[in-house]
Structure 1
């Protein structure tokens, strides 16, 4: 039990560090709101190494802490919506056993954006923001592939470490 708590603390710290590093990267590709999602690397690893409950707890903890440290209440709201929907889809796909880590991550990237679009539609009280979906879907696929590749490589290196 003590090791599990220690690993969880390390994962939270790593996710916060990645959130901070990402906030420093001045990537502007002309589309607002698109980020690589480096902290999601830690969430994907936690999903595979610790389990679904721990991954949810990690995701919520990271979003709330990063939101208070680096963001705002709106960033917490959007990130929670995207993160929880994303993690739910990733957990379901992982459970089937038919998807690779990269496939699970791609679905997570796309559904993270879907969750944020749903919140945006509710906040602005129009579904016109749905026109933004194709751009966000492409971004989710690309970032999902990158995070999936990185997660897959990390999981290979961590295969002998039992965290659950």
Structure 2
């Protein structure tokens, strides 16, 4: 990649990280209350998904890691970091596999990522409280993840469509 392209990619990465932190803060300020405890829109995942499509797995993982740690220290606690890391790890793994399969577009990749994010957090919660009975909650999280994943996927597709080629060199960088 040319020097100018690298600079544009670095700036875009910084903007995506700032966006992820801002969206995390907005979710802290405006909690979603739809009758399903713990459900969030996952707005910050928008930045990770855009990063995955533009720059690949490494930078998307870095965005997720930095966002989770910074958000945890700024607005949460160590438990929040643990749950978020488990959800993000499983989510990103599933999203990468879905994207690589080329069977899914941005919306499908986002929905799969959202569902696996919920599954990762639920698995850690069940391990922490030593109660597998928590998995009865998964159907509700499956529905919530499908809805929020669709919304984030739609936003991702629309944003990527309107980004200048200078950010991504006119192509989708492979993982």
Instruction: Give the TM-score of the pair, scaled to structure 2.
Output: 0.90
| Regions of 4+ moved over 4 Å | none
Query: CA deviation digits over 1:109-129, x for unaligned, max 9?
Result: 100000001100110011010
Equivalence for 2:30: 25
Q: Give the 3 Å change call, closer, same or farther, for CA 26–126 of structure 1 in structure 2.
A: closer
CA distance in 2, matches of 1:68, 1:122: 23
Equivalence for 1:144: 149
Contact 2:9 2:167 in 1 (8 A): no
The runs of 5 or more residues in structure 1 that have no matched partner are none
Contact 2:19 2:44 in 1 (8 A): yes
CA distance in 2, matches of 1:89, 1:99: 12
Equivalence for 1:12: 17
**Offset of residue 153 of structure 1:** 0.4
Query: Is the partner of 1:45 in helix, strand or coil?
Result: helix
CA distance in 2, matches of 1:117, 1:159: 38
The runs of 5 or more residues in structure 2 that have no matched partner are 1-5
**Offset of residue 160 of structure 1:** 2.4
Equivalence for 1:65: 70
**Offset of residue 10 of structure 1:** 1.3
CA distance in 2, matches of 1:31, 1:161: 42
Query: CA deviation digits over 1:58-82, x for unaligned, max 9?
Result: 1011001001101110110001100
**Offset of residue 159 of structure 1:** 5.7
Equivalence for 1:35: 40
Equivalence for 1:47: 52
Task: Give the root-mean-square deviation of aligned CA atoms.
Answer: 1.2
User: Who wins on radius of gyration, i.e. which is larger?
Assistant: 2
Instruction: Give the TM-score of the pair, scaled to structure 1.
Output: 0.95
